[in-house]
Amino acid sequence: MKSFQLDLNLGQKAVILVAVPLVFEIIFVGILVGLLRQSEAETFKERHARAMVAESNSLLKNFMDGGILIHLYVSTKKDSFLQRQQEICEEIPQQFRSLKIMAADSPRTKESVERLENACRKGLELMTAAKLLKGEDAAAMNWVGSNDELATTTEQLISGLRGFVKEQEQAEQVDSNAEANARLAVMQWLAGGVLFNCILVVLIAIYFHKDIMSRLIVLVENTRRLGQGKPLQDRVSGKDEIALLDSVFHDVVDALDEASKRKQELMSMVTHDLRTPLTSIRSTMTLLNEGVLGELPPRAAKKVGAAENSANRLIALINDLLDIEKLEAGKMQIVLSNAALASIFESSLNSVSAFADDAGVRIECSENEYVVKADPDRIIQVLVNLLSNAVKFSPKDAVVELKADKVDDQFIEIRVIDHGRGIPEAFQSKVFERFQQVNPGDATEKKGTGLGLPICKAIVEAHGGAIGVKSKVGEGSTFFFRLQMASGPSVQNISEPESQATSPAPNG
């Protein structure tokens, strides 16, 4: 079953990854704000009910204190009781006004407050009438009736106030519970929202991570397969930049495969269709130049000699191309054995001695008794190339040195030192690349192909060693490479064997 996949580019996926949690956060914050407002409202109602209870209790206390003080005044006729009673009675109307304000939002509560206010007003009128009594007999007679009526009114008012206080206390308790529930709801939403948001983000991240990383892994694997020469995996799905990159990568690989086929066809053509007739032409030129087919006029002999040299150069170029292709493809035979370095030096010097004599350059070779693990023919090919280059770029009567020194218990470093023109520092890292010439005119003037040093590099690396150069303009160059010291007999065959090793030649 095909998995669900959104046809989005990476930018749109990034927006979704950010926008979805953000939208949820906005909604979540809105819900929390609503719950907090509800909690604040419940808190306000609870405080409001508490304030009404406190005000009602204070009102009840003042009314009862006023009744007691009026009794004391009637009994004792002391003005201090009357003064205190008047102060309390002046507070009562203000307290009722406060209760009315508090009850403004509740018609039922407001009606209860007005009913209590009427009863309280009647009681205050009876208290006022009682404090106006004059004379002991009249006071006694009138106070009895007033006192009974005041007592009845007071009892009714107290009962009403207590009932009102009880209602407010119940409302306070309800509001308190509502506030607690609102706070609990806030905490639950907060915890649930955070958990849900985390789960949402993780799920989105997992989806896009799986969608993106799985295809990136395919790209990485295809890159590895390209380096190993293996077939690529199928093109990844989608319409984003990863899919586009993978498509371009496949197109590039297809183009490389096509170029590789054309290259193989070219190399096959060079091998079969050029080297064989060129070899025949060179042989004919040699026979003509040596007079085997008859003496040639001096002018003709000169032309034949030039043609022979051109044929030699073309054959050397073809051999170099074939060698470097085989080395880089791992198809050239490298047979490792314990080889005496002195013998390798001697064979290399014999190959370039005539060339050095013609150039007027002397080659000095240091004696050594080192034994290295190497393919002698291939190392001779490396040294012939390096020595030929050193001779070509050295002035007449100069000295080229060939040395070998032990680096450590594992490697021997071999150096070819010349005192020629040197290599600019900016170009030293490029001399081991194909067709690179320090001076563009060297290809013609020095008869170089630009393949000698790349071949040297490939051969040395096939031996598990490394090659490099140190040079200073105007003072000369030192080419060096390292080979492993022999520790016992060893033979290594790389891919298919070659019928005949390419003969070394000073082709730079």
The enclosing domain of 376 has a CATH number of: 3.30.565.10
**End residue of a domain, out of 208, 223, 243:** 208
The per-residue pLDDT for 104 is: 76
Lowest mean pLDDT among 15-29, 168-182, 187-201, 466-480: 168-182
| Segments in 77-135 forming alpha helices (H) | 79-102, 107-131
Does 82 share its domain with 201?
yes
Domain span at 89: 10-208
| Burial state string for 403-439 with b = 16 or more CB within 10 A and e = fewer than 16 | bbeeeeeebbbbbbbbbbbbbeeeebeebbeeeebbe
The per-residue pLDDT for 53 is: 77
Q: Is 129 a domain residue?
A: yes
Position 222 pLDDT exceeds 70: yes
Q: Is 281 a domain residue?
A: yes
The per-residue pLDDT for 452 is: 80
Q: Is 216 a domain residue?
A: no
Q: Is 321 a domain residue?
A: no
Q: Is 38 a domain residue?
A: yes
Q: Is 3 a domain residue?
A: no
Does 37 share its domain with 114?
yes
What does the alpha-carbon distance between residue 154 and residue 145 come to, in Å, rounded to a whole number?
A: 14
Question: How much of the chain, in percent, has pLDDT values that exceed 90?
Answer: 10
> For strand 411-417 and strand 476-484, is the pairing parallel, antiparallel, or unpaired?
antiparallel
The per-residue pLDDT for 506 is: 42
User: How many CB atoms neighbour CB 156 within 10 A?
Assistant: 15
Position 337 pLDDT exceeds 80: yes
Does 186 share its domain with 73?
yes
How many domains does the chain fold into?
3
Does 291 share its domain with 367?
no
Q: Which two tokens stand for residue 449?
A: 């192909």
Does 384 share its domain with 470?
yes
3-class DSSP assignment, residue 269? helix
Does 57 share its domain with 20?
yes
**End residue of a domain, out of 251, 278, 312:** 312
> Which span out of 9-23, 65-79, 362-376 was modeled with the highest average pLDDT?
362-376
Q: Which two tokens stand for residue 75?
A: 């009994």
Does 34 share its domain with 172?
yes
Q: Mean pLDDT across the chain, nearest whole number?
A: 75
Does 68 share its domain with 20?
yes
What does the alpha-carbon distance between residue 6 and residue 27 come to, in Å, rounded to a whole number?
A: 25
Does 275 share its domain with 145?
no
pLDDT in tens, 87-140: 887 888 888 788 778 777 777 777 777 777 777 777 777 777 766 654 444 444
**End residue of a domain, out of 312, 346, 371:** 312
Q: Is 230 a domain residue?
A: no
Q: Is 187 a domain residue?
A: yes
